[in-house]
Amino acid sequence: MPAEDKFKFHQQQLGSPSRDFVAATKDDNNDLPQVSRAIYVGTGGDVNVTREDGTVVLFKNVGSGTILPIRCFRIKAAGTTASDFVVL
């Protein structure tokens, strides 16, 4: 029997738990499968991302298990030492 979803008729907001999430890898040329609401960083390090407006921003020394509440469309390989990303 499938789990009951008591919230399936509630409208999703930016502060709501994410319904759509996917594992992602760093890549200098290809976009993420979806623009993020946040990024979970499984293994810590530096995270170099491209914002929706095309600006590249480097987050230094992000800890393992951190959720970065940022909207971006690419995690760049150049400058990124962190890994094991999940796009929320």
Give a yes or no: residue 7 inside a domain.
no
This prediction has a pTM of 0.84
Q: How many domains does the chain have?
A: 1
Give a yes or no: residue 14 inside a domain. Answer: no
Alpha-carbon span 50 to 57, nearest angstrom: 6
Position 26 in a domain: yes
**DSSP class per residue in 5-30:** -TTTTSPP-TTSPPS--EEE---SSS
- 6 assigned to some structural domain: no
Q: Quick one: pLDDT band at residue 18, thresholds 50, 70, 90?
A: confident
Position 40 pLDDT exceeds 70? yes
In angstroms, the Cα distances linking 87 to 9, 60, 74 are 23, 18, 10
The widest CA-to-CA distance across the chain, in whole angstroms, is: 46
State mean pLDDT over 13-28: 83
Kindly state whether residue 69 falls inside one of the protein's structural domains: yes
63: domain range? 22-87
Q: Assess if residue 35 is contained within a domain.
A: yes
pLDDT digit string, tens, across residues 44-71: 999 999 999 999 999 999 999 999 999 9
